[in-house]
Structure 1
Amino acid sequence: MNRNKKFSYKKKEETPLIKQYNNIKNKYPDTILLFQVGDFYEIFGKDAVICSKILNIVLTKRSNIHLAGFPYHSLNNYLPKLIRSRLRVAICDQLEEPQKGKNLVKRGVTELVTPGITINENILQTKSNNFLASIHVGYKKLGLSLLDISTGEFFLTEDEENNVLQYLKFFNPSEILFQRKEKRFFDKLLKNKYYTFLMENWIFNYEFAYEQLISHFKTNSLKGFGIDNLKLGIISSGVILSYLHNTQHFNIKHISNIQRIKKEEHMWIDDFTFRNLEIFNSLNKEGVPLINILDHTTTPMGSRLLKNWILFPLVNIFCIKKRHKIVQELHSNNIVRNFIKKKLKNVYDIERIIAKMVIRKITPREIYTLHKSVTSITEIKEKILSQESKVLVDIGKSFKDCKTISDKIVKTIEDNTPNQIEKGKGNVIIKGVSKELDQIRVLYFSQKEYLEKLCKIEQKNTGINNLKIGYNNIFGYFFEVRNPKKHHIPSHWFQKQTLSNSGRYITKELKNYELKILNAEQKIFFLEKEIFNNLISEILEYLEYLQTNAKKIAILDVLCSFSNIALENNYVKPKINHSSKIYILKGRHPVIERQFLSKISYIPNDVILNKSDQQIMVITGPNMSGKSAILRQTAIIILMTHIGSFVPAQYAEIGLIDKIFSRVGASDNISLGESTFMVEMNETANILNNISHRSFLILDEIGRGTSTYDGISIAKSIVEFLHESQLRPLTLFATHYHELNEMSSIFKRIKNYHVSVKKIDDDIIFMRKLITGGSEHSFGIHVAKISGMPIKIINRAKEILKTFKIEKSKNK
């Protein structure tokens, strides 16, 4: 879309409504404008054509203008579809009630929704953040900022290009902002994988950004956030704040902090490893990712936090041990754990409720869920404060006292309150909160009694026994008299309508009462709205307390989840220390073991690594024997240890790991002209160029994408490089090249292992047990046989294999 081209229709086609539409649309040329006309949102021109296809709504044409639309109350059904289609949407509402004698209603944009800026629960995913990112290009580094406006989380960092790309993959932002002049650079960098929006060059200014940030956070400097030396990051953060203002998001008080992403404080896991270990997504359609096993959280906040912990595992042993200790306390205390789990069911998404309050887009029902949440958190706090465990008591002390909030809500809003304050309903604010409101309600809700009494009086005064009082939107209230009784009608009655069998009349008293009722309806609405808004303002005085409790309850939710899965799956508390060894006894794969009807069926395995005599384990064995599972489960056990979870093993002692790398499985990238082997070499090169002295590597079938001799040469060379490196990274190396077995006799820290099989006649049983020593057989023909390969091919393959073996023995 040409952003500079103004939107307009021909002059002769402009009605006052279309002229108003054009004026507003020209201010938002790059958005879909939803234009409220009465009870509908109307869409005109090219916007209508686009929306009709996405929303599957009727497209019409009137006076050469394309037109589409949907009911006003259906916005939450249609808006998510537009945002998911990567469109920006400006919502233009009527800002006043239609008035008689006034042709044009005042309208204006009340909200601009983009993929990266929304609090609409129908657009957001409950268990995932929705980040808006901003990137600023420096000389050698990029500044990156990320904001989730729905939760108030705000992050920034500065790093090299490749690391910033990794962060983007981790956070998966819905929208990325960058400088207009850098479009070509970002087109090449992002490869159209993200929705992007170009910002004007002048906004990317350090002084401007700095002022934006200190003005928002109401501070004199940014030193308190630990970001004052991150110039590129500050610029990218200032751009986000500017963007919020440009999109009509001024009420952002809930964005109360900005955090620096410190790479050195977290274990580094690249996106290849997350994919290979199937952490968040399975490589197979019917597979189960690890997150499904680990996420037994109850609250949306807990679920989002767990994902964050997995993306950024800790490398601070003190903090890791503290998590382990809390999990252990909850693990051993059934009463407390079950109490917490029960109460967490009444804790709603406080982070997103706060965001809605701040921008005044919250409903009475959502406010009432805040009361339920605060009440449950208070009960959890009291329960854990009564315990003898110091770590639990410390958590209890960290919660803020928000009972005042709960009391204010429960004394102001009705339980089972409607989702919106609606005109004339009068059932949101509790009786007794406002005397004026109570008096007006009596008037409004006693209509039936008053009208029945008035009708009886007029029946008696006029002698018209069948007199009725009716109502319609045109005349309001009226007396209806059947024609035979017309001669009884008093002279002070005014006729409004003549029907075939009756007439309709009004009196001054009836009209005055109608005005009172109409005014009462308006007054009730405005009074309830005023009381409700005052309540929100009072609650927001405790904004910091609420945000603190939301964070603390999310942590407790995740740790409670860890204790639950540890009990259900027989996990143990791992020992973590500063040693350089991995010692796992009877380790299991947390996902694969759940696929067995009985956990006894899963064969556990030991993995022992250290830098003195067993730095590298070369694992051979037939395909489908379980080599890859052993590699993956070891990496997952290390990961689970560093996020604070118990692990699937009989015993686990883990030396601190700062990076996990993996090269497992094949992944073509044909669209970029890269073969399986090229991808394999790229990923392996990335690993070898970035290892540290505390890295852990799992490498599976390196070199299989090329010819046999090339593959063997590459595999041997890589193993030798890892052994001879001064860093000595701990490594599991699975291969079908049996030639690598000989390396253990040359290099002292390389040890051979194989996954055992049992051969009975022509049948092979995979024992899935890791034992010392190398394997000389791949049993590939057997694997082909059990896969359903035609028997004729299997028999011929055996003949060919026999011939190869004879020739090989002759050559010796």
Structure 2
Amino acid sequence: MSKYTPMIEQYLSIKEQAKDAFLFFRLGDFYEMFFDDAILASKELEITLTGREGGATEKIPMCGVPYHSAENYIQRLIEKGYKVAICEQMEEASATKGMVRRDIVRVVTPGTVMEGKVLGDKSNNYMVCVTETDGMLALAACDLSTGELYVTSVPDSKEWLLDEINIYEPSEMLGDGHLLDFVTSRMSPVGRRVVYTSWDKSKDDLVRDQFGEATWARLTEERRRCVSRLISYLNETQKRSLGQLTQISVYEPNHFMILDPFTRRNLELVETVRERSKKGSLLWLLDRTETSMGARLLRRWIDKPLLSSNLIEERLEAVDKLYHQFIFREDVRAQLKEIYDLERLVGRIAFGSANARDLIALKLSLARIPSLRELCAESPSKTLRRIAQTLDSCTDLCALIEEAVADEPPISVRDGGLIKEGYHQRLDELREASVNGKRWIAELEAKERAATGIRSLKIGYNKVFGYYIEVTKSNLASLPEGRYERKQTLANAERYITPELKEKESLILEAEDKMVDLEYTLFSELRSKLNAEIPRLQKLAEQVAEIDVYQSLASVSSERGFVKPELTTGYDFVVEQGRHPVVEAVMKDGGFIANSTVLEEADAHILLITGPNMAGKSTYMRQVALIAIMAQIGCFVPAARAKVPMLDRI
């Protein structure tokens, strides 16, 4: 004989599949937690711990959260480094005899969050996988919310591995145990979840299915294994299509400047040393982006300065033209300002979690693309004109959303009100039936008031009793005999029904139920159509982000009086009247004294800098480093003139 009730037995069997996660077990309108999960969750979430009879001699610890607000509680647990398994009812309780079938539909981890406060608008949320194969170290980094997936590898170099992981600042790391142990011993584990995984050759097919045979063939063996490990983990936890992952971006480490973690920290590239704040960093100074995806791309450029002079010159050419064309630059900014976060909107569409308001945001964004494309096509910049030639305005997708989705839809996709009138004939017919039914209800209320002389008589509705006629007790004597059937007694009133009211109620509710179901079906079909166009939308998001970064660098350069650097393939590094860009920006009196730097192959290879404390030695050295980094990301620099060679490491 079982120790627990069938429902608790079902909970325990499902919990076996998610031993290291909080199991959010759906019971009606709540997600419930039991046993140790409940005890720990009540402390972490500061919610009431109760008990439930479950067949055992003692009450089972239990706590729960409403399903409609569960996202907030899940976010709080994720922020603390936990993971959460979502267990849903897989069938309607009303249509099932016996126990409702339940199953885990998704496991939320720090690296797989798709929305909410955990995701910073201007920062990525990366998951990193690190593996070793035949002496080669591979690293794959994925932001599931934007659909980005990068992979690279080098001969065995654990120091390189630390440098690369620091660039991505992952919220979750997985891969080979010995590599993860090394990384966590050298980095603070706070805020990062670590998962030991092993390679399973049978999972390679997941990568082939996801990205195609051609992409698989281009990957080296160590990169294949690393990506395979990552995709396998995502499939196991997300249990749904990963349609937002459409391409693997392969890069070689020697294409970018090497910046070790100490250099990044001391130069305060993306955050300050003391407060770990963006304000006061190089990123803070250069970020005048108008879109979230532009801000994220700018950070990636700062994290990885280029070593290709051709690519840098392309960037500088666009920045230069925007720098000298103020009106054109402001027109571009005006269009970008109205564009939402395309990358994450597309990610939610692919994930199946986008609601109608997300589609409206997508429509409003796409409506701005034709004007942005026209501006770039007519610009004096070759780089921007090149982008415009391949910029897909996606006007067909914009028109599709415009035709189907209501202008001001609700947040929920299950409550109706999503689809415009005129989009679907059957839906319009059901709406007409519902409207006519409610009009009939209003007319019946007026008629009954006239027949009984009771001015306070009203017809109401609730989910338990349906439609009813409510009469205060002081007016009961005015009701005619035999016409009304008592339904419910209140403290000060009685509620009644009539045969004709009951008949009309069934017609109205049937129409409304069918209407809501049909709207959800139509919305899901629309979302699926957009899902098929994910690669187009992702390419568009990349191009918009690139344009945004160019205007940002141009705006800051113009505002701060920066100049275009002269890139050389030699060794000479010459800066005339250089300034530390951030120190100059934060000084209230604007009193930063410009200085020069001359490092020439034929004369001075090294500068020996001496002076008392507070003389500015470290500021001077950082200034030179930042000028080099700014030049190699394609930005103008704080100087009267700058001749900058290609630096492979700082």
TM class, shorter-chain normalised?
over 0.9
Residues 328 and 501 of structure 1: is their aligned pair in 2 closer, same or farther, counting only changes over 3 Å? closer
TM-score, normalised to structure 2's length?
A: 0.92
Instruction: Write out per-residue CA displacement over residues 70-91 of structure 1, whole angstroms, 9 at most, x where no aligned residue.
Output: 2222222211111111111001
Residues 183 and 211 of structure 1: is their aligned pair in 2 closer, same or farther, counting only changes over 3 Å? same
Q: In the TM superposition, what are the counterparts of 1:136-155 in structure 2 within 5 Å?
A: 136-155=131-150
Task: Please give the alpha-carbon distance, in whole angstroms, between the structure 2 residues aligned to 1:565 and 1:621.
Answer: 32
8 Å CA contact 1:244–1:250 kept in 2: the answer is no
Q: Give the alignment partner of residue 607 of structure 2, picking from 600, 617, 623.
A: 617
Structure 2 partner of 1:373: 365
Residues 523 and 135 of structure 1: is their aligned pair in 2 closer, same or farther, counting only changes over 3 Å? same
Structure 2 partner of 1:212: 206
Structure 2 partner of 1:282: 272
Q: In the TM superposition, what are the counterparts of 1:699-778 in structure 2 within 5 Å?
A: none
> Gaps spanning 5+ residues in structure 2: where?
53-57
* Secondary structure, aligned partner of 2:638: coil
Structure 2 partner of 1:489: 482
CA-CA distance at 1:582 after TM superposition: 0.4
Structure 1 partner of 2:298: 306
Q: Give the alignment partner of residue 160 of structure 2, picking from 163, 172, 176.
A: 163
CA-CA distance at 1:626 after TM superposition: 1.1
8 Å CA contact 1:178–1:197 kept in 2: the answer is yes
Structure 1 partner of 2:354: 362
8 Å CA contact 1:32–1:88 kept in 2: the answer is yes
Residues 100 and 469 of structure 1: is their aligned pair in 2 closer, same or farther, counting only changes over 3 Å? farther
Task: Please give the alpha-carbon distance, in whole angstroms, between the structure 2 residues aligned to 1:187 and 1:476.
Answer: 60
8 Å CA contact 1:479–1:506 kept in 2: the answer is yes
Residues 329 and 449 of structure 1: is their aligned pair in 2 closer, same or farther, counting only changes over 3 Å? same
Structure 2 partner of 1:110: 105
8 Å CA contact 2:369–2:393 kept in 1: the answer is no
Structure 2 partner of 1:196: 194
Q: In the TM superposition, what are the counterparts of 1:59-98 in structure 2 within 5 Å?
A: 59-62=49-52, 63-98=58-93
What letter is aligned with 2:140? S
Structure 1 partner of 2:231: 241
Residues 561 and 101 of structure 1: is their aligned pair in 2 closer, same or farther, counting only changes over 3 Å? closer
Task: Please give the alpha-carbon distance, in whole angstroms, between the structure 2 residues aligned to 1:320 and 1:140.
Answer: 33
Task: Please give the alpha-carbon distance, in whole angstroms, between the structure 1 residues aligned to 2:445 and 2:622.
Answer: 83
Q: Given the alignment of the two structures, is residue 565 of structure 1 paired with residue 585 of structure 2, yes or no?
A: no
Q: Given the alignment of the two structures, is residue 629 of structure 1 paired with residue 624 of structure 2, yes or no?
A: no
* Secondary structure, aligned partner of 1:429: coil
Instruction: Write out per-residue CA displacement over residues 291-315 of structure 1, whole angstroms, 9 at most, x where no aligned residue.
Output: 1101111111111111111111111
Q: Given the alignment of the two structures, is residue 575 of structure 1 paired with residue 566 of structure 2, yes or no?
A: yes
Residues 485 and 376 of structure 1: is their aligned pair in 2 closer, same or farther, counting only changes over 3 Å? same
8 Å CA contact 2:437–2:504 kept in 1: the answer is no
CA-CA distance at 1:454 after TM superposition: 2.6
Structure 2 partner of 1:6: none
8 Å CA contact 2:140–2:227 kept in 1: the answer is yes
Q: Give the alignment partner of residue 536 of structure 1, picking from 507, 519, 527.
A: 527
8 Å CA contact 2:130–2:180 kept in 1: the answer is no
CA-CA distance at 1:633 after TM superposition: 0.3
Tell which deviates more after alignment, 292-301 or 537-546. Answer: 537-546
CA-CA distance at 1:447 after TM superposition: 4.3
Structure 1 partner of 2:459: 469
What letter is aligned with 1:488? E
8 Å CA contact 2:35–2:62 kept in 1: the answer is yes
Q: In the TM superposition, what are the counterparts of 1:638-657 in structure 2 within 5 Å?
A: 638-657=628-647
* Higher RCO (CA < 8 A, seq sep 6+): 2
Task: Please give the alpha-carbon distance, in whole angstroms, between the structure 1 residues aligned to 2:648 and 2:491.
Answer: 90
Residues 290 and 361 of structure 1: is their aligned pair in 2 closer, same or farther, counting only changes over 3 Å? same
Residues 509 and 634 of structure 1: is their aligned pair in 2 closer, same or farther, counting only changes over 3 Å? same
Q: Given the alignment of the two structures, is residue 437 of structure 1 paired with residue 453 of structure 2, yes or no?
A: no
Percent identical across equivalent pairs? Answer: 34
CA-CA distance at 1:444 after TM superposition: 2.1
8 Å CA contact 2:131–2:179 kept in 1: the answer is no
What letter is aligned with 1:143? A
CA-CA distance at 1:321 after TM superposition: 0.7
Instruction: Write out per-residue CA displacement over residues 514-558 of structure 1, whole angstroms, 9 at most, x where no aligned residue.
Output: 112222222121111111112112222322211111001111111
CA RMSD between the two structures: 2.5
Tell which deviates more after alignment, 634-643 or 468-477. Answer: 468-477
What letter is aligned with 2:235? H
TM-score, normalised to structure 1's length?
A: 0.74
CA-CA distance at 1:350 after TM superposition: 0.8
Instruction: Write out per-residue CA displacement over residues 433-466 of structure 1, whole angstroms, 9 at most, x where no aligned residue.
Output: 0121112112223444211323455567788887
Task: Please give the alpha-carbon distance, in whole angstroms, between the structure 2 residues aligned to 1:209 and 1:75.
Answer: 32
> Gaps spanning 5+ residues in structure 1: where?
1-9, 661-812
Task: Please give the alpha-carbon distance, in whole angstroms, between the structure 2 residues aligned to 1:632 and 1:487.
Answer: 92
Q: Give the alignment partner of residue 521 of structure 1, picking from 505, 512, 530.
A: 512
Q: Given the alignment of the two structures, is residue 296 of structure 1 paired with residue 293 of structure 2, yes or no?
A: no
* Secondary structure, aligned partner of 1:208: helix
Specify the structure having the higher radius of gyration (Cα): 1
CA-CA distance at 1:625 after TM superposition: 1.2
Residues 11 and 266 of structure 1: is their aligned pair in 2 closer, same or farther, counting only changes over 3 Å? same
What letter is aligned with 2:118? I
Structure 1 partner of 2:55: none
8 Å CA contact 1:209–1:237 kept in 2: the answer is no
8 Å CA contact 1:279–1:291 kept in 2: the answer is yes
Tell which deviates more after alignment, 186-195 or 601-610. Answer: 186-195
Task: Please give the alpha-carbon distance, in whole angstroms, between the structure 1 residues aligned to 2:486 and 2:589.
Answer: 85
CA-CA distance at 1:609 after TM superposition: 0.5
Tell which deviates more after alignment, 100-109 or 392-401. Answer: 100-109
Q: Count residues in correspondence.
A: 637
Residues 537 and 466 of structure 1: is their aligned pair in 2 closer, same or farther, counting only changes over 3 Å? closer
